[in-house]
Structure 1
Amino acid sequence: MNRRLAVFSAVLAALGVTLTALGLVTDDALPPPETTEAAALTWENVPAPAPSATRPNPRRSTPARLDIAAIGVHTAVSPIGLRPDGTLDTPPLRSDSPAGWYRNSSTPGETGPAIIVGHVDTARDGPAVFFRLRELRTGDTISVRRSDRTVANFRVVKVASYLKKAFPSEEVYGATPGPSLRLITCGGSFDRDRGSYRSNIVVFATATP
């Protein structure tokens, strides 16, 4: 566990936060995503894992395209990094923006969690690339075409909603024994005063042959 995750886990423990996720967990009475005049995706209070040195891996190849047939997602994938405050950056806030792969996470097909994020909607354009992410169910399939032209395939094992103020960093970003995938967007109820959603939807998926 890196220092950033250790500190965050300690904060959660001190607050006595307990999170469970069976199917879709609705921590804040999750309604369907809605497009409002103030709607905008933000990653407030969502920490990202600190960059870590990785050994050369013959299976490492950056993602180029993401396909999720069950919800009609077919998008390019672009690399993103961290903001100065240590939270995940995002693709441009447009409905046609591609999904973004966190460049310091594993690549799809490589051991560990590959982190891909996307907007749920925008105030100006309405639904965005991950608008229907919350509709995914256990068993749905996901494929990621990589820059080396190979395809990494995954199967959804859990879809959960977490309040941003209690985001389970270790569960989402922690090491996994094999290749895995995490898809993240905003969701839950909308805070009109802050102009952002209160929760994050996280899809957990594991590699298939």
Structure 2
Amino acid sequence: MAASAPVLITALALVTACAPAAAGTGGVSGQGAQVMAATVSADVADPVRLRIPSIGVSTRVTGLRLDAGGRLIAPKRFDQVGWHRGGPEPGERGVAVIAGHVDSTTGPAVFYRLRQLRPGARVHVDRADGSTVTFTVQRLARYPKNRVPDREVYGSGGGAQLRLITCGGDFDRKRRSYRDNVVVYAG
């Protein structure tokens, strides 16, 4: 669980949860780390499962950390998502971030159909204490990795917010990464 005092969330310099990547790298990231503040309470349990019925996702949630450059380290498995442990748990005030791979060298990954989500779709996060928090998709956006609007993506707005993030756009074979990130905004 996160501390009850305000927590500083590095803006993740967008997600390393893009694949396929060179073996062992976990993916690629965007740029620049900007610091955002979020108020976090200590009474919400960690996420353990993400369910998105409209696109057929039901997967385990693992904890993720930032690398030395302030980028979120991608989940190790392509069939699971990861939650940024340094930020709010889903359901706490602020922006909780869950990232997952779009594909792998062998085929589609957990967030392959994320770009198909539409406003109004429900996203359920089951927590370690047996509770579930449900979010409603508000919108989707796609940003070039080097021009992610950190304040818009990670700014808390009001109440509990959720961002689902994966890669998208064209695949750059030379860099072995996607050029963009797909971000789902849910509240």
**Superposed pair shares fold, TM > 0.5:** yes
Q: Which residue of 2 aligns with 1:156?
A: 137
Partner of 2:3: none
Question: Partner amino acid for 2:97?
Answer: I
Match of 2:165, SS state, is: strand
Q: 1:108 to 1:86 in 2, by over 3 A?
A: same
1:44 aligns with 2:29: yes
Q: Is residue 2:43 matched to residue 1:64?
A: no
Aligned-pair identity (%): 45
The Cα shift of 1:131 comes to: 0.5
Distance in 2 of aligned mates of 1:165 and 1:205: 23
Q: Larger radius of gyration, structure 1 or 2?
A: 1
Map of 1:165 onto structure 2: 146
TM-score normalized by structure 1? Answer: 0.74
SS in 2 for 1:101: strand
Q: 3-state SS of the aligned residue for 2:153?
A: helix
Tell me the SS of whatever aligns to 2:129. Answer: coil
> Does residue 107 of structure 1 match 2:89?
yes
For 1:79, the equivalent position in structure 2 comes to 63
Cα RMSD for the two superposed structures: 2.5
Residues 46, 88 of structure 1: 8 Å contact kept:
no
CA contact (8 A) 1:111 1:176 kept: no
Distance 1:53 1:67, change over 3 A: closer
Q: Deviations over 1:32-81 (max 9, x none)?
A: xxxxxx933733224566597966432x2110000000100000000001
Looking at structure 1, the residues matched to 127 and 103 of structure 2 have their Cα atoms a distance apart, in angstroms, of 26
Question: For the residues of structure 1 that align with 2:98 and 2:179, how far apart are their CA atoms?
Answer: 19
Report the Cα distance in structure 1 between the residues aligned to 2:10 and 2:127, rounded to whole angstroms: 29
Aligned residue pair count:
171
More helix by share: 1
Instruction: Call closer, same or farther: CA 1:3–1:132 in 2, change over 3 Å.
Output: closer
Question: Matched residue of 2:61: which SS?
Answer: strand
Name the TM-score, length of structure 2 as normaliser: 0.82
Shift in Å, 1:166: 0.2
Out of 133-142 and 42-51, give the one that drifted further.
42-51
Higher strand share: 2
Equivalent-residue separation in structure 2 for 1:145 and 1:47 (angstroms): 32
Q: Is the 8 A contact 2:9 2:37 kept in 1?
A: no
Whether the 8 Å contact between 2:40 and 2:94 is mirrored in structure 1 is no
* Structure 1 gaps, min length 5: 9-37
In structure 1, distance between residues paired with 2:42 and 2:130? 16
Amino acid at match of 2:164: L
1:133-174 per-position Cα deviation (integer Å, ceiling 9, x unaligned): 000001111000011111000000010100001011111111
Judged with a 3 Å threshold, the aligned counterparts in structure 2 of structure 1 residues 51 and 204 are, in CA distance, closer, same or farther, namely closer
